[in-house]
Amino acid sequence: MRILIANRGEIAVRLIRACHELGHGSVAVYSDADRIQPHVLAADLAVRIGPAPARASYLDQGAVLQAARASGAGAIHPGYGFLAENAGFARAVESAGLVWIGPPPEVIELLGSKTAAREVARRVGVPVVPGSEPLADAAAARAAAAAIGYPILLKAVGGGGGKGMRIVRTEGELEEAFARASSEGKAFFADERVYAEKLIERPRHVEVQILGDRHGSLVHFGERECSLQRRHQKVFEECPSVAVNPALRHRLGEAAIAVAAAAGYRSAGTVEFLLGQSGEFYFLEVNTRLQVEHPVTEVVYGVDLAQLMIREAFGEALPLHQSDVVPRGHAVECRIYAEDPLRGFAPSPGVIHQLERPHGPGVRVDSGVREGSLVPLDYDPILAKLVIWGEDRPRALARLRQALTEYRISGIATTLPLFRLLLDIPEFQAGALHTGLLDELLARAPVQALEAAVDPELERAAIVAAAVLAAQEAEHLPQNGFEAAERDGREWRLAGRRLAQGREPK
């Protein structure tokens, strides 16, 4: 059967590979900005669905369904983002006689509401952060804050990815924060409702991967640590968490399964929790899709979650039981974004002129770009995910350090320097993480520290500059064929390194 991937970038490439390994045909969709991107070239068929803006292409449900009909696809996998957690789209797919690869529409609808999901957790005895129902206006928010106690977190009911969230520490901040959270909720999720939660100071963000089938089986695959976030957006994940011992892992897993079972869950999903400094945990939300960070779970537990999602959608029972789920080693993931750390993480669109990926044991790169790729400004800026596995956390981080020295992207700015810098931060090395740590580190990190982490790129620029200098002086150099060329190349490389170190080329 042909499966249409209603997405782009690295997740589309990932899912196309899963389709092919299972013997299914694949169909890519693309906008005008993506017509020669890797996911388009990797698929068996590709269908244009509109111009660059997401609302006119990847978010156009009619265009996606028409692409499925035109290509003869029998199923649709939404990946993450775009239409992945849209219950209306899931219903439209099923109404069109196609297989929806994901949780049932009614489950997406139930758990897509953060307040309804909190009520499900409450009903099965899973602790939730003290909070309110949806608030009518700023006056209602003020009353809720007085009952809960400052500081609070205002959250859009349909929110996710850090959108529609505002910390409020005093009553004077509340009115503007409420307006902003409501406005973002309406803009990003077509739902302006906002609710309030007690702000848990310096918590860890841990999440449990679940997988269920239509035959009543539900299993979990341990936890992922997702505490390194910039403005509520995850940038680095690892599995397992250094803060979770086997007993706590069992409790978290049981809580995740209880919530999923109460909602009638099947397919892949993630139950998210806040973990307090004393080991207490609180239900946060359920993501009814495959997460960006799913690869760290895959490499630690030896499973292919993308393939299991597809097999479940076609009616297969899960091929494993909870007793079969055994972790091995430690994995970390760096999200490589087209953002400039030296300019406040501003978007960095453009053409990738050079791309060199790391290789070696325990190194996995899920990428949606190649040399020559245009990185447009229209979509999420994630380019790739660098996933590293090691026998334990220290060895995984040592392998990550080496991989980061080998990873080269030029033509645009990326977040690679951020991860090079993080590896030398004592709190990071010790695993002493919390959701505000990265923002704190960036607030106190001097620009020079980030500039130093960009050195590998600076060296390449210096090499090019030295090569130009060598070419300009070519008339003064002997021309003895390959021998001279090899020697000259060696000389300008050495000169480039001297320039990169601030020294004059000899």
- The dihedral over CA atoms of 167, 173, 178, 181, expressed in degrees to the nearest 10, equals -40
Active-site residue 289, yes or no? yes
- The residue annotated as part of the active site, out of 8, 204, 289, 311, is 289
CA–CA dist 211, 219 (Å, integer): 6
Count of beta carbons in the 10 Å neighbourhood of residue 389 = 23
Largest CA distance in the chain: 84
Q: Which residues, 6+ apart, have CB-to-CB distance to 103 below 8 Å?
A: 90, 111, 265, 266, 267, 269, 288, 289
Q: For 234, left (φ over 0), alpha (ψ -120 to 50), or beta?
A: beta
CA–CA dist 58, 30 (Å, integer): 8
Q: Does residue 46 sit in helix, strand or coil?
A: strand
Q: Which among 122, 131, 176 has a CA at the least distance from the CA of 149?
A: 131
Structure tokens at 190: 């077509």
Structure tokens at 125: 């005895």
Residues paired with 230 in a beta bridge? 233
DSSP summary character for residue 341: G
Structure tokens at 228: 């390194």
DSSP summary character for residue 369: -
Residue type, 213: D
Structure tokens at 192: 């302006």
Structure tokens at 460: 């390449």
Structure tokens at 116: 């309804």
Structure tokens at 103: 């949780």
Element (H, E) at 137: none
Contact 466, 496 (CB under 8 A): yes
Contact 253, 309 (CB under 8 A): no
Q: Helix/strand/coil (H, E, C) string of 406-442?
A: HCEEECCCCCHHHHHHHCCCHHHHHCCCCCCHHHHHH
Residue type, 292: V
Rounded to 5 degrees, φ, ψ at 228 are: -80, 100
CA–CA dist 437, 228 (Å, integer): 7
The residues carrying an active-site annotation are 289
